[in-house]
Structure 1
Amino acid sequence: MPGDDTTGQVLTPRSSAPQRWTATVAESKCYWYDLLATGTGLPDFRDPVGRYLRRQQFALDGTMEKRLLYFLVTRPRLRIDTQRAVSWGFFSLKLTVPVLIGAEERKGTITIDLDVPFDATYKKPLVQLQDRFLILNWGSMMEPLSIHDLVQRYDTGLDAPSTVRYVGQTRDAAGKLAKGECTIVNRLREAHRADSDTFLMVQRFDIQVQTAATDMAEEASVRTRVDVLENALIRYFEGPAPRLRSEVELGTRRETMEELVDTYYLDDLTVDLGFAGADGFHDLASEHAPASRRHLFRCVFEEGRARVEPIAAAGRPLSELKE
């Protein structure tokens, strides 16, 4: 994902005209954090699942160099039931996979309609089951798919919102998030691991500015825009008094936001988390936000404190991802 910003946060003279910002999703990627935060070192590249995990780790590592936002989300625990067998539809590639749902491991099934890859030499794959992976052997290639990949890719009927637990930025020279060493993220993962699977939803935003100001020096940097957006999303999903953040952090954020809003003469920020083609993983919810695939709200800052209010979606087209 783009989103690099190697410059420091240098405040410019106060903007000569009010600014209104609008943030829409430009890219969105989900990573199953439980698979990556194992603390067991690099996966074996000779194994198809190991190669899958290495690709995921490489992609997540790349986000640590960019100024992107992430949501730590949990979804109901889901596993493949390796004690039961898959079944095929007659004369088709409809594959029924046995699953275990929730902490109580309720038995169920999901049915997916496979497409033959271009490089495949088998018309119907050999199937191997692991508790978290379905491995398809197409002869000339192995295709590992996590159980949650299946939920994202196919209409499985397993609908559940992704509960947002925490909002943060990916940029970190130490790469603690990608290494599974981020304390707050690991604490939340441990708190919910008995009944939930944990994911990082990493998003890049396109932030447009409406203003009568013409001096380019008055334009906010990528860092500033992402900082402002992060604070708006924290308020929206974590509420007016986030329990997971210290008073020191909250005080620092208020001071920074008060200065930024004054410097850039920021009237308001409109945030639209909806986009065309969003799947069920993007049905986001939290203790403070109802479940929805399109969260659309306006945020204003008063003395550094964010205040949010929902906006009607009528007349606002969904954005298209820029991938």
Structure 2
Amino acid sequence: MVRVTDAKYHWYDLLAGFAEKPDIRDPIGRYMRRMQFELDATSEHNHLFFAVTRPRVRFDIAGALQWGFFSLKLTLPLLLGAEQTKDSITVELKVPFAATMKKPSVTLTENFISLNWGGLVEVFSVHDLLMTYAHTLKLPSKVAYVGRTRDPEGRLGKGRLPAMHKVRAQFGEHYDTLLLVIGTEVEVSCAEGDPAGHDVNQHPQAADALHAERVDMIEAALIRYFEGSAPRFHGTEERQQRSERITAVQAANHLVQYTIDLELPDTGFYNYLSSEFVTSAKRHLLSCFVADGKAQVAPMPLPTPLKGSKA
């Protein structure tokens, strides 16, 4: 059984459109630099990521901000989609510990809101707010590409990954492209026990190789599920190499079947995923196996929640 242990979104368009290093003296620059550092760190690890597209959304800098009476409720104007349809989102701010003002001064750009509380400045992207605060906007998250973060060149954090260029070119400027980086845990059920617990796999290099094999299997299944049988953003050579790897892993481990339970923790209102081939859902339970060098995937019915528990 494969489960998601952690998940985090990053707005890839901001990185891909930023030619120079952000100015860390500026609050938005610090936000950008922090995102780059986080993605640079993933390049040293075998994590999986999804390229997730959503209809374009921006703050309407020509619109009016509205404060609630005697409260920190703030209504922000939005522009949605290619038509730039006017809409809004209402958020209820919380006074941070270091604030010296009861109500912040607000600065809007198309992509960011800056809240100056006197003692500090908070910065949020428009997607941060939509992820955090409840709203009724119908903006589906669609997986366009599944990849892995490990890359000695660290191209993901620099906005230079060729596959991501292709995704952005395919969907154009009327869609936003986000990265969803996930961590996973694997629970093995077999008579010999989990190979990760065997002495031979305690050495860091052996443990890393075992983890890479498992990521290969998970990645292959998720590509098949979200991108279909002919994924357009994965080249022929890449697909052939993956086929050889998962066939070898299957044979070496006598792997019959594996299950992926894809549910995103800590992603707020961005916890639903869909694709061209997959209906939107906040949980995807998949039965997977390898046949003819390819991952085969079948959706499984979700278990019925116990009475008194949350669905």
**TM score, norm. by length of structure 1:** 0.88
Distance change in 2, residues 1:316/1:63 (3 Å): farther
Shift of 1:160: 2.2
| 1:61–1:175 Cα contact (<8 Å) kept | yes
Of the structure 1 ranges 232-241 and 182-191, higher mean CA displacement relative to structure 2 is found in 182-191
Q: Secondary structure at the match of 1:267?
A: coil
Would the aligned equivalents of 2:7 and 2:265 in 1 still touch at CA under 8 Å? no
Contact 2:52 2:145 in 1 (8 A): yes
More relative contact order, 1 or 2 (CA 8 Å, 6+ apart): 1
Q: TM-score, normalised by structure 2?
A: 0.91
Alignment of 1:132-147 (within 5 A): 132-147=111-126
- Aligned partner letter, 1:301: V
Give the structure 2 partner of residue 240 of structure 1.
229
Partner of 2:157, secondary structure, is coil
Displacement of 1:280: 2.6
Q: Residue in 1 aligned with 2:12?
A: 33
State how far apart, in whole Å, the 2-side matches of 1:99 and 1:39 are: 23
Secondary structure in structure 2 of the residue aligned to 1:285: coil
Does the alignment pair 1:62 with 2:41? yes
Instruction: State the one-letter code of the partner of 1:90.
Output: F
Asked if the contact 1:161–1:280 (Cα under 8 Å) also holds between the matched residues in 2, the reply is no
Partner of 1:266, secondary structure, is: coil
In structure 2, C-alpha distance between the alignment counterparts of 1:213 and 1:118, rounded to whole Å = 52
| 1:246, distance to aligned residue in structure 2 (A) | 2.5
Contact 1:112 1:156 in 2 (8 A): no
Deviation at 1:278, TM superposition (A): 4.3
**Residue equivalent to 2:277:** 288
User: For residue 18 of structure 1, what is the aligned residue in structure 2?
Assistant: none
Paired letter, 2:239? L
Change (3 A) 1:279 1:239: same
Equivalent of residue 261 in structure 1, options 218, 239, 250: 250
Secondary structure at 1:52's aligned position in 2? helix
Q: Using the TM superposition, give the Cα deviation of residue 39 of structure 1 relative to its aligned residue in structure 2, in angstroms.
A: 4.3
Structure 2 counterparts to residues 4-83 of structure 1, below 5 A = 22-83=1-62
Deviation for aligned residue 1:157: 2.0
- The answer on 1:188 being equivalent to 2:167 is yes
Q: Structure 1 residue 256: deviation in Å?
A: 1.6
1:163 equivalent in structure 2: 142
Number of residue pairs aligned between Structure 1 and Structure 2: 296
> 1:277 deviation in Å?
5.1
Rounded Cα–Cα distance in structure 1 between residues aligned with 2:64 and 2:76: 7
Greater mean alpha carbon deviation, residues 238-247 or residues 271-280: 271-280
Q: Is 1:222 matched up with 2:201?
A: no
> Are 1:101 and 2:80 counterparts?
yes
Following superposition, the deviation at residue 161 of structure 1 comes to: 2.0
Deviation at 1:315, TM superposition (A): 4.8
Distance 1:209 1:194 in 2: 43
Give 5+ residue unaligned stretches, structure 2.
202-206, 307-311
Q: Give the Cα separation in 1 of the matches to 2:153 and 2:264.
A: 32
SS at match of 1:298: strand
How much does 1:192 deviate? 1.7
Aligned amino acid, residue 49 of structure 1: I
In structure 2, C-alpha distance between the alignment counterparts of 1:84 and 1:275, rounded to whole Å: 34
1:178 and 2:167 equivalent?
Answer: no
TM-superposed CA distance for 1:251, in Å, is: 2.1
Change in 2 beyond 3 A, CA 1:161/1:124: same
In structure 2, how many angstroms separate the alpha carbons of the residues matched to 1:178 and 1:139? 31
Do the aligned residues in 2 keep the contact of 1:238 with 1:287 (CA within 8 Å)?
yes
Counterparts of 1:205 and 1:247, CA distance in 2: 27
Which amino acid counterpart does residue 138 of structure 2 have in structure 1? D
User: Once superposed, what is the RMSD of the aligned Cα atoms?
Assistant: 1.7
SS at match of 1:252: helix
Unaligned residue ranges in structure 1 (runs of 5+): 1-21, 318-323
Question: Aligned equivalents of 2:234 and 2:29: distance in 1?
Answer: 35
Aligned equivalent of 2:100:
121
Check whether the contact 2:48–2:219 (CA below 8 A) recurs between aligned residues.
Answer: yes
Per the TM alignment, residue 252 of structure 1 is displaced from its structure 2 partner at its CA by 2.0
